[in-house]
Chains A and B, each alone.
Chain A
Amino acid sequence: MAYKYRLSKEQKRKLIVKDFKKNWAIYLIVLPIIIYYLMFEYIPMYGVQIAFQDYRPALGFGKNWVGFKHFERFFTSPYFWRLFKNAFLINWFELIFSFPVPIIIALLFNELKSKTFKNVANTFIYLPHFITMVVVCSMVKEFVSADGFIGQMVASVTGVEKSLLLQSQYFRTVYIASGVWQGAGWGSIIYVAALQGVDTQLYDAASVDGAGRWQQMWHVTLPAIAPTIILKFILELGSMFSTGSQKILLLYNEAIYDTADVIGTYVHRYGMQSGQYSYSTAVGLFSNLINVSMFISANQISKKVANISLW
Chain B
Amino acid sequence: MKIKEPISYKLFKACSYLLLSAFALACLYPFWYVLVYSLSDGILVLSNTGVLFWPKGFSLAAYEKVFADKYIWSGFKNTLICLLIGVPLGVTMNSLGGYFMSQKDLYWKKYIMWYFVATMYISGGTIPLYHSMRMYGMTGNLSVVCVFGCVAFFNMVIMRTAFDGIPESLSESAKMDGANHITILIKVLIPLVKGTFAVIAMYRAVAIWSTWYWASVTILDKKKLPLQSVIRNMFDSSGFGEEIEIAQTKEYATLVVSTLPILVAYPFLQKYFTKGVLVGSVKG
Interface of B is mostly: helix
Say yes or no: A40 contacts B148, CB within 8 Å.
Answer: yes
A106 to chain B, nearest CB (A): 11
A249 to B236, CA, bound (A): 11
A163: min CB distance to chain B, Å: 11
Contact partners of B228 in chain A: CB under 8 A:
132, 134-135
Q: How far, in Å, is A285 (CB) from chain B's closest CB? A: 6
Q: How far is the CB of A165 from chain B (nearest CB, A)?
A: 12
Residue of A nearest to B119 (CB): A41
- Chain A residues with Cβ under 8 A from B9's Cβ? 212-213
Query: Does A173 sit at the interface, judged by CB under 8 A?
Result: no
CB of B243 to closest CB in A, whole Å:
16
Of B43-51, B58-66, B166-174, B193-201, which stretch is located at the interface?
B43-51
Nearest residue (CB) in B for A185 is B27
Find the A residue at minimum CB distance from B210.
A132
The answer to the question of A47 belonging to the interface, with a C-beta cut-off of 8 Å to chain B, is yes
**Contact-residue bracket for chain A:** 35 or more
Partner of B124, one of A15, A19, A45, A125: A45
Verify if A97 is at the interface (C-beta below 8 Å from B).
Answer: no
**Contact assessment for B100 and A26 in the assembled complex, using a CB-CB cutoff below 8 Å:** yes
Q: Which residues of A contact B46 (CB under 8 A)?
A: 147
Assess whether A15 is in contact with B49, with CB atoms less than 8 Å apart: no
Question: A19 — which chain B residues lie within 8 A by C-beta?
Answer: 106-108
> Would you call B126 and A272 a contact (CB within 8 A)?
yes
Q: Is B73 in contact with chain A by the CB < 8 A criterion?
A: no
With A16-B107, A250-B232 in contact, is A124–B255 under 8 Å at CB? no
Of the candidates A124, A130, A143, A267, the one whose C-beta lies within 8 Å of that of B262 is A130
Interface pair B106/A36, CB less than 8 Å apart: no
Select which of A111, A128, A134, A288 is within 8 A of B125 by beta carbon. A288
Looking at A27-35, A71-79, A83-91, the stretch in contact with chain B turns out to be A27-35
Contact B23 A267 (CB under 8 A): no
Within 8 A of A (CB), among B87-123: 93, 96-97, 99-100, 103, 105-108, 112, 115-116, 119, 121-123
Contact status A29-B96, CB under 8 Å: yes
* With A37-B119, A45-B122 as contacts: A193 and B277 at CB distance below 8 Å: yes
Query: When the two chains form their complex, are residues A44 and B13 in contact, meaning their CB atoms are under 8 A apart?
Result: no
Q: Dominant SS at the A interface?
A: helix
| A1-42, CB < 8 A from B | 1, 15-16, 19-20, 23, 25-27, 29-30, 32-34, 36-37, 39-42
In the complex, what residue of chain B is closest to A134 when comparing beta carbons?
A: B228
Give Cα A213–Cα B116 distance, bound, in whole angstroms. Answer: 47
- Please tell me if the beta carbons of B277 and A125 are within 8 angstroms of each other in the complex: no
- Does A281 touch B at the CB level, under 8 Å? yes
Q: Does A292 contact B (CB under 8 A)?
A: yes
Q: Does A153 contact B (CB under 8 A)?
A: yes
In the complex the two chains form, what is the Cα distance from A115 to B270 in whole Å? 17
Using known A-B contacts A39-B136, A44-B123, A149-B33, determine if residue A127 contacts B27 with beta carbons closer than 8 Å.
yes
Q: Which residue of A lies closest to B37 (CB)?
A: A142
Contact B209 A132, beta carbon cutoff 8 Å: yes
A301 and B41 alpha carbons, distance in the complex (Å): 58
A274-306 contacts to B, CB under 8 A, are 277, 280-281, 284-285, 288, 292, 295
Question: For residue A130, which residues in chain B have a CB less than 8 angstroms away from its CB?
Answer: 206, 262, 266, 269-270, 273
Q: Which residue of the partner chain A has the closest CB to B206?
A: A130
**Smallest Cβ distance from B247 to chain A, in angstroms?**
11
User: Is the beta-carbon distance between A27 and B129 smaller than 8 angstroms?
Assistant: no
Flag if B128 contacts A47 (CB, 8 Å): yes
Q: Considering the complex, give the chain A residue whose CB is closest to the CB of B101.
A: A30
Report B-chain residues with C-beta under 8 Å of the C-beta of A121: 20-21, 23-24
Task: Give 16 pairs: A residue, B residue, CB < 8 Å, sorted on A.
Answer: A1-B105, A23-B106, A25-B180, A30-B112, A44-B123, A108-B20, A124-B25, A127-B266, A132-B258, A142-B251, A143-B30, A149-B33, A149-B52, A184-B23, A193-B281, A284-B127
Closest 10 CB pairs of A and B: A44-B124, A47-B128, A284-B125, A19-B107, A124-B24, A30-B100, A132-B210, A44-B128, A41-B119, A271-B127
Spell out A's residues near B (CB within 8 Å): 1, 15-16, 19-20, 23, 25-27, 29-30, 32-34, 36-37, 39-48, 50, 57, 105, 108-109, 111-112, 117, 120-135, 137-139, 141-143, 147, 149, 152-153, 181, 184-185, 189-190, 193, 207, 212-213, 228, 246, 249-250, 264, 267-268, 271-272, 277, 280-281, 284-285, 288, 292, 295, 310
Could you list which residues of chain B lie within 8 angstroms of chain A, going by C-beta atoms?
3, 6, 9, 12-13, 16-17, 19-21, 23-28, 30-31, 33-34, 46, 49-52, 93, 96-97, 99-100, 103, 105-108, 112, 115-116, 119, 121-132, 135-136, 148, 150-151, 156, 180-182, 206, 209-210, 212-213, 217, 228-229, 231-232, 234-235, 238, 248, 251-252, 255, 258-259, 262, 266, 269-270, 273-274, 277-278, 281, 284
